[in-house]
Amino acid sequence: MTAPLVTRVSKADGTTIAEAGRCLAAGGLIAFPTETVYGLGADATNGQAVARLYEAKGRPAFNPLIAHVIDLAAARALGRFSNDAARLAAAFWPGPLTLVLPRTAACPVSDLATAGLDSVAVRVPSHAVARAIIEAFGKPVVAPSANRSGHVSPTTAAHVLADLGGRIELIVDGGATPVGVESTIIACLDDEPMMLRPGGIAREAIERALAKRLTRPTAEAATAGDAPLAPGMLASHYAPRTPLRLDATGVDPGEALLAFGPKPAERHEQAARVLNLSPRGDLIEAAANLFSHLRALDSAGAETIAVMPIPHNGLGEAINDRLTRAAAPR
């Protein structure tokens, strides 16, 4: 345990961005908005800064991090692109897509950040504040979601402060994050691209860009062994304290309700609290609201959070993935 820090929260203006760049260069930790969720950033090339980041998150050190860079040219310095990888980068960068690639020989990302794997996860974010910070710093920034390990990902500066206040130097406040779920992760390590995590870009869009179908590893393959394929896929990764009951068509006594769509659940009047992910049934709006609604219902003092069924198409795959993890026994 290190001594508590004073965590400052500052609006994302030019002064704050310059300060964020200096803080990263000095080995410090800053939280900043991306289009998906808030990230907790550190200098990707500085092993000590990365070690501090793991400590601040309370994250097991075998869980590797995503390196955030400004453009494709910077990404090529870190990882080797197959034809499929290049196609995906052209279609979706900047944006909520992470590519897992073989490390280049000269890749400067610290071994601690890649957990000793010979692959590296790379992403080019589209959020203006994230881009300005990466540009001000001038080197890759590793950034997991800016929550304590095991908590749901933060979509506002207030969420970050609640989880990491006293543990990091600076939170750059750029408002609520627009996408609301993490990036889609695609491994391009051979000629069969694999979806390691559903996220902000739907499977259908990726398959269209590749003109082929994606495989997704089984949960066992993804989390087994000494060097799991996607260690962050551990079943209970996203976890409110209140148990979740999925695919609920009605509310039981003592439950809060996470609703979806225009049709009310049976007995919704008796819910301790009701929040609707998207009253008009829009999956993009639902993704943007998912983590903040889970946090709010988690603090409603209910015995259980009943969750109405969410369709599986489009961003529904990522939403259902996060809800299944949040509901997993711990």
Residues 177 and 154: their CA atoms lie apart, in Å, by 9
Residue 98 is a binding residue for Mg ion (CB under 5 A)? no
**Residue 250: CB minimum distance to ligand TXA, A:** 33
The interface region with ligand TXA, picked from 7-15, 44-52, 163-171, 225-233 by CB under 6 A, is 225-233
Q: Which residue is nearest to ligand TXA (CB)?
A: 232
Residue 119 is a binding residue for ligand TXA (CB under 6 A)? yes
Residue (46 or 63) nearer to ligand TXA, CB:
63
Residue (109 or 271) nearer to ligand TXA, CB:
109
DSSP structure string for 14-28 = HHHHHHHHHHHHTT-
Residue (19 or 163) nearer to Mg ion, CB:
163
Cis check: omega of the bond before 264, within 30 degrees of 0:
no
**Residue 233: CB minimum distance to ligand TXA, A:** 6
Sheet-wide strand order for 119-123: 8-11, 170-173, 30-33, 38-43, 141-142, 66-68, 119-123, 97-102, 184-187, 194-197
Residue 79 is a binding residue for ligand TXA (CB under 6 A)? no
168 and 53 Cβ atoms separated by less than 8 Å:
no
Q: Which of 145, 183, 242, 304 binds Mg ion (CB under 5 A)?
A: 145
Sheet-wide strand order for 304-307: 244-245, 304-307, 255-259, 274-276
Residue 144 is a binding residue for ligand TXA (CB under 6 A)? yes
Residue 232 is a binding residue for ligand TXA (CB under 6 A)? yes
Element (H, E) at 194: strand 194-197
Q: Which of 7, 46, 82, 114 binds ligand TXA (CB under 6 A)?
A: 114
| Contacting residues for 13 by C-beta, under 8 A, at least 6 apart | none
Of the candidates 280, 236, 225, 279, the residue with the CA atom closest to the CA atom of residue 257: 279
Residues 117 and 64: their CA atoms lie apart, in Å, by 8
Residue (52 or 151) nearer to Mg ion, CB:
151
Residue 33 is a binding residue for ligand TXA (CB under 6 A)? no
The interface region with ligand TXA, picked from 34-42, 82-90, 207-215, 299-307 by CB under 6 A, is 34-42
Q: Which residues bind Mg ion (CB under 5 A)?
A: 145
